[in-house]
Structure 1
Amino acid sequence: MKTKAILLDQKAISRATTRISHEIIEKNKGIEDLVLVGIKTRGVPFSQRIAEKINEIEGKKVPVEELDITLYRDDLSEISDSPLVKKSQFKTDIRNKNVILIDDVLYTGRTVRAALDAIVDNDRPKKIQLAVLIDRGHRELPIRPDYIGKNVPTSKSEVVSVKFNEIDDKDEVTIKEKA
């Protein structure tokens, strides 16, 4: 795939993380009863970065959970004949909490739908909000993020690639053209 453009560099990702963190604090009137849930893979480091920024701002740590939605995907048969099935268990009690579901890219909405199913299987939070670094459009389900780092209108022939230092040894968001 050919890289068409760099959408966000390290500084832009940092600015978006800071802004989203402030917006989460403001919308929830503080961080009381807040739990961040990062969708594996790249939603996890993004959620940890937001938690660190919230800690810098508020001086208190917010619990961060990891969510593997493999079991809940509606396209498992397209991914593998024998998909890996894992039950998510949170260490943090999410009952009556404000859960911020965090992912790197929002596209069709199917990953978020699967994540919502997984969260509700764990317990019933008071509220679930969605934070994404990139919203690229093309929704197949009626899902809308509460917090967005950047809106990027894309064509279906394009791929948005998010890289985080924690996984990829680089902070960058690019848009690529499928061959």
Structure 2
Amino acid sequence: MVIGVLALQGGVREHAEMLRALGAQAILARKPNDLDNLDGVVIPGGESSTIDRLMRIFGLADPLTEALRGGLPVLGTCAGLITLATEIEDPAPGQKSLGIVDMRVRRNAFGRQVDSAVETIVTRYGAVRAAYIRAPEVVSVGGDAEVIAVTSERIVGVETPSALAVSFHPELTGDTTIHERFLSKVRGTVDA
């Protein structure tokens, strides 16, 4: 399995290392042709408006959107969740999203950087050690989006047939549960 990690900003190295530890080949995706021949892609956490702006500057937004709409499996963590949403409730000036997962999100819902925390949450796939850093929340879901994780009555995980999006950073805690679920989605696509 060849997984591209969108390498514009954020937790790129941590995702790549975790994917490699789980047996996938991880490549860093910075240019449109880096998206060719991928079995899946990860949009890491970071600053969502910066990721959006850099995707547009480097010409990645349109080809990535096309690939994702074509069924390329994707994992989005924190800012990646925001990037995948159909609606951002409080976007930065000029900020857009890819519109892949039918959900409305609110940026920085868990507070400022100093409010960062690590906690264990229950997901549909088991307990996950999750790091929250200026994390978003999912305000609502529609279409084929299903809630897979809730904490403090906030939606923090959503899944569709081809996408997995979480508000937190499992790659920072070393918990592989979410990445394993993502790779099972990729295997289902590869084997299909």
TM-score (normalizing by structure 1): 0.35
Bigger Cα Rg: 1
Flag the structure with more relative contact order, 1 or 2, with Cα contacts below 8 A and sequence separation at least 6.
Answer: 1
